[in-house]
Amino acid sequence: MEKLFVCDQIEPLMRAFTPEQRAESLVLTTQQLRDGGPRPSVKWLFSTWGMAQLTENEIRTLLPNLQAVFYGAGTVQYFARPFLKSGVRVFSAWAANAVPVAEFTLAQILLSNKGFFQLSRRYRRDGYEKAAAFGDHFDGNYGARVGLLGAGMIGKKVIELLRPFRVEIWVYDPFLPEEEAKRLGVRKVELEPLFAGCQVVSNHLANNAQTRGMLNYHLFSKMGPYATFINTGRGAQVVVDDLVCAMREEPGRTALLDVTDPQEPLPADSPLWQCENILITPHRAGSQQKEIFRMGETVYTQYENLLAGRPVQYEVTEAMLRTMA
């Protein structure tokens, strides 16, 4: 048996890979894999959310002839390094998962520039006249300035989706070469002018030690009085108390959080719940339901290409992990 499916979340695994793809293969949890002893016949490992976090020693012992991991989901940060250090290739569906995240972000950007999140609440609370007057603070999308933190796979997809709307895009990304910024049609800037100069700021930074806690009061306080901060990246990059303080200081500001610190479920006593201009969704920007199949299909195609000697895509390297979300 050359193929093995290992995952601690069986439902998304069933959605990501078809019965035909799983035919004549074992489906195991991490504990079942550890308890079952060495499996020298396994060359290919498939998974999605809930992938086994194995040590280098476990990989060498349990899967001595493993050649590649095909991960039908986005970030591989939490499991990939021991596999790569063991000489196992890793393929990820990060490009497929970037699509719904970028679509989710696009919708929030467009609605933010129209004042939707503020106006829907104020219309209910204050009535038509006051809400309509408040709407004059929002200029709409044509010619609006949008700031993106990070121009990785998701950031680039957001840039692509924004093109038809004729917005001006500013990007903060230390790893983005100037030539690439010009090709993308964006302006590369530092953090402070981006927060100060954009109507909407959307976070897509890589998740690493350098970016954790990077987004603080010094930056949030520079946002305009009717600006919006969107986070579909990682909650730990935001200093929660600082964001809450900045939102309370300017009630016309809005924060749209699909990720939080701590991670979901967000505790009932989190200060984020206490701000009416902070809107929180339960981490739904990424692939869900039918979209999950697209991720499995993406990496299974790479498996078929590898077997057939065709070119492959979406392979992850150790160098890439430094800048990936």
Catalytic residue set: 234, 264, 283
Instruction: State phi, psi for 26 to the nearest 5 degrees.
Output: -85, 145
The residue to which tokens 């219309």 are assigned: 123
Concatenating the DSSP letter of every residue in 13-43 gives: HHHHS-HHHHTT-EEE-HHHHHHT---TT--
Burial of 310 (0-12, 13-18, 19+ CB in 10 A): exposed
139 CB neighbour count, 10 Å cutoff: 14
Sheet holding 254-257, edge to edge: 187-188, 168-172, 145-149, 200-203, 228-231, 254-257, 278-280
Alpha carbon distance 116, 122 (integer Å) = 10
CA distance 111 to 117: 7
Sign of CA dihedral 279, 281, 283, 288: negative
Who contacts 249 (Cβ-Cβ below 8 Å, separation ≥6)? 221
DSSP 259: S
Q: Can you state the percent helix, strand and coil of the chain, rounding each to 5?
A: 45, 15, 40
